[in-house]
């Protein structure tokens, strides 16, 4: 009996010691330090890019939350990081685009053309496809509430035009207020030059359990044997900087990268989103303009089959499908043209040219080209724009209500657009 008690006490002692060690490790930043030290150069390069963007390029704005910088130094850094021209307001336009454009774009980084040169972005490709000027007022990191505020501030660049309202999956977030500069994390870059401790502070804040020794050991064993366990049709699951990645079609697909959460699709959020979209329509009509909703799918959604098979996770795809259906329903309810770039991108992904950037959620130059073609097709087919080009392109009608707009717009003289 005494032997059993001693063995039980010894077992409990070992267990408690292990728990104490796990708590100490999880509470520390050991794994953060180790991962940075292991590949300091890579982390430093990534830091510099984000640092330029948040510390130098964007700045606080009392009304909009944040805007692009417009000083000469900020413009130089814009060129270095985003590879494109900027106008006097910091937007991605050439001289005359805003003033003479027949189309104006509002949205976030997907509408802005993040990750590619201005010449490769879909707004500029759309301009080329249609043979008309396109103004781009998109701000990376903004949300629909901010899109509407931008529409109100820059009225002179939205009157008597077609306004393309770009929506990405994270626009369904439960945060419908203005994204404050500090709350958005843009104030985390407070020093002019990067340091090792700045890199530590910038790492993703992991949940407590993900910092434990057991979790990291499991992750290492799981990833080491991933080819045999997952059987991903030749697509290798790998680990890079603590992230689960799946390499397919010249892309590194990151687990959970589309960001969508179940709570974002609550009834309250859906009601608020519909109100925001209705407000955008009212603003556009007040300017004598027409609002068009454009949807951009996440890379996860386009590679849904591989994502589900590789990560055994169907939740993000289901939620995004639900969000997209809701958006289409809202557009129909408000009698707005809804352009969904998903079908064309899904079809194109089977070809040899990647449609997304290698390790980035944004479109590649080819992806931008496909999106521009889809938007151009829809605008021409529904008589929102009269193209100066002679090529014939067709678009599958997305809604029943939009189909009747052609004759109505013709009677209003579509050349007025």
C-alpha dihedral (93, 98, 99, 104), degrees to nearest 10? 150
- pLDDT in the model for residue 70: 64
Which comes out higher in pLDDT, residue 275 or 45?
275
pLDDT digits (tens, 9 = 90+) for 20-40: 877 777 666 666 667 666 666
Query: What pLDDT is stored for residue 92 in this prediction?
Result: 86
pLDDT tens digits along 136-148: 999 888 889 999 9
Closest by Cα among 331, 322, 323 to 278: 331
- pLDDT band at residue 370 using 50, 70 and 90 as cut-offs: very high
Cut 0.75: pTM above it: no
Long-range CB contacts (< 8 A, 24+ apart) of 213-219? 213/21, 213/22, 213/25, 214/22, 216/31
Range ranked top by mean pLDDT from 65-79, 116-130, 199-213: 116-130
For 183, the 3-state DSSP assignment is coil
Which has more confidence, 316 or 53? 316
pLDDT of res. 165? 98
Pick from 235, 247, 236, 242: nearest CA to 358: 247
Check residues 264 and 319 and name the one with the higher pLDDT: 319
Q: What is the DSSP string of 286-300?
A: HTT-EEEEEEE--HH
Give the pLDDT score at 412: 35
β-partners of residue 252 are 247
Q: Which of 7-16, 95-104, 209-218, 322-331 is predicted with the least confidence, judged by mean pLDDT?
A: 209-218
Q: What is the pLDDT of residue 19?
A: 79
**More confident call, 125 vs 349:** 125
In whole numbers, what is the pLDDT of the chain averaged over residues? 76
> pLDDT, tens digit, for every residue of 307-326?
888 778 889 999 999 999 99
Strands 103-106 and 337-340, sheet pairing: unpaired
Share of the chain above pLDDT 70, in %: 61
Helix ranges (H only) for 131-250 are 144-153, 196-202, 213-224, 226-230
pLDDT value at residue 162: 97
Q: What's the pLDDT score for residue 190?
A: 58
Instruction: Give the pLDDT confidence score for residue 387 in this predicted structure.
Output: 63
Average pLDDT, integer, range 352-380: 90
Q: Which range is most confident: 61-65, 83-87, 177-181?
A: 61-65
Nearest Cα neighbor of 161 from 125, 117, 116, 130 is: 130
Q: For residues 78-99, b (16+ Cβ closer than 10 Å) or e, as one string? A: beebbebbbbeebbbbbeebbe
Whether 63 and 149 have beta carbons less than 8 Å apart is answered as yes
- DSSP three-state, residue 31: helix
pLDDT at res. 369: 96
Per-residue confidence band for 398, with pLDDT thresholds at 50, 70 and 90: very low
Nearest to 38 by CA among 199, 224, 193, 210: 199
pLDDT of res. 208: 65
Most confident range (mean pLDDT) of 62-71, 86-95, 184-193 is 86-95
Determine the average pLDDT of the residues in 210-227: 56
């Amino acid at each position: 009996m005494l032997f059993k008690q001693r063995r039980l006490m010894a077992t409990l002692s070992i267990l408690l010691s292990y728990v104490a060690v796990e708590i100490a490790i999880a509470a520390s930043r050991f794994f953060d330090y180790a991962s940075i030290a292991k590949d300091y150069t890579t982390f430093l390069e990534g830091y510099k890019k984000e640092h330029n963007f948040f510390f130098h390029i964007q700045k606080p704005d009392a009304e909009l939350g944040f805007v692009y910088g417009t000083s000469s130094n900020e413009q130089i850094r814009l060129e270095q990081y985003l590879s494109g021209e900027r106008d006097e307001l910091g937007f991605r336009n050439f001289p005359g685009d805003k003033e003479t454009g027949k189309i104006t774009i509002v949205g976030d980084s997907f509408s802005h053309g993040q990750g590619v040169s201005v010449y490769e972005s879909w707004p500029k490709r759309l301009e080329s496809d249609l043979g008309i000027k396109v103004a781009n007022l998109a701000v990376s990191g903004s949300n629909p509430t901010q899109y509407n505020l931008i529409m109100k501030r820059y009225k002179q660049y939205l009157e008597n035009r077609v306004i393309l309202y770009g929506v990405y999956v994270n626009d369904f977030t439960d945060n419908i207020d203005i994204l404050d500069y500090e709350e958005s994390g843009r104030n985390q870059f407070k020093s002019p030059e990067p340091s090792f401790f700045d890199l530590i502070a910038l790492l993703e804040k992991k949940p407590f359990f993900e910092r434990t020794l057991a979790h990291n050991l499991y992750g290492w064993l799981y990833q080491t044997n991933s080819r045999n366990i997952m059987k991903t049709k030749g697509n290798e699951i790998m680990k890079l900087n603590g992230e689960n990645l799946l390499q397919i079609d010249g892309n590194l697909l990151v687990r959970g990268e589309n960001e969508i959460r179940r709570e974002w699709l609550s009834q309250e959020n859906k009601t608020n989103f519909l109100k925001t979209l209705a407000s955008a329509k009212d603003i556009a009509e007040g300017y004598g303009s027409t609002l068009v909703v454009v949807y951009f799918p996440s890379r996860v959604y386009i590679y849904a089959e591989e994502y589900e098979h590789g990560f055994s996770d169907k939740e993000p795809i289901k939620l995004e499908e639900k969000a997209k259906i809701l958006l289409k329903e809202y557009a129909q309810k408000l009698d707005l043209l809804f352009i969904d770039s998903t079908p064309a991108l899904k079809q194109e992904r089977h070809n040899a040219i990647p449609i997304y950037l290698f390790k980035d959620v944004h479109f590649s130059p080819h992806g931008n080209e496909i999106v521009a073609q889809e938007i151009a097709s829809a605008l021409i087919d529904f008589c929102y724009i009269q193209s100066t080009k002679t090529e014939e392109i067709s678009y599958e009608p997305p809604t029943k209500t939009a189909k009747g707009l052609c004759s109505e717009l013709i009677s209003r003289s579509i050349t007025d657009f």
